[in-house]
Amino acid sequence: MSNRKPYVREMKRTWWKDHPFYRMYMVREATILPLIFFTAFLTVGLGSLVMGEAAWQNWLSFMANPVVIAINIVALLGSLYHAQTFFSMMPQVMPIRIGGKKLDKKIIVLAQWAAVAVISAVILFVV
């Protein structure tokens, strides 16, 4: 056995700030926090809906709070950012071939956004 110490490269806590790819990755991962709050708010809203009219009105007034509205807007932007990164990665993960030719990446991404728009419009008009 050797008495030499193994080389351990020093890693600073801010290693991710040095490269734009890692910065955007960390921003994407951090967007989960407002989404957690949004989910918790909706879960409490479902509970208040079950408890009756007074609880529902209290929840509605809570949701009208500017801080809650800001959190919901940040959650919406975060979910759109998640969708954009997922949709842009899709052509590399699952390339689509039609007639032996690869479909253009832009067409795949635009088709996904079109599907989101159509589904959102259907839900908007049905509800």
The stretch 117-124 carries a mean pLDDT of: 96
pTM: 0.75
Residue range 70-96, pLDDT digits in tens: 999 999 999 999 889 889 998 888 888
CB 82 within 8 A of CB 28: yes
- pLDDT class of 1 with cuts at 50, 70, 90: low
The stretch 107-125 carries a mean pLDDT of: 94
Residue range 3-38, pLDDT digits in tens: 888 888 888 888 888 889 999 888 888 888 999 999
- Of 39, 14, 12, give the one whose Cα is nearest residue 26: 14
CB under 8 Å to 41, separation ≥6 — which residues?
A: 62, 63, 68, 71, 72
Q: Which amino acid is it at 126?
A: V
Domains parsed from the chain with CATH numbers: 20-94 (1.20.1300.10)
Q: Which residue has the higher pLDDT, 124 or 12?
A: 124
Residue range 52-73, pLDDT digits in tens: 999 999 999 999 999 999 999 9
Q: What is the pLDDT of residue 119?
A: 96
Q: What is the pLDDT of residue 77?
A: 93
**104 vs 101: CA distance, rounded Å:** 9
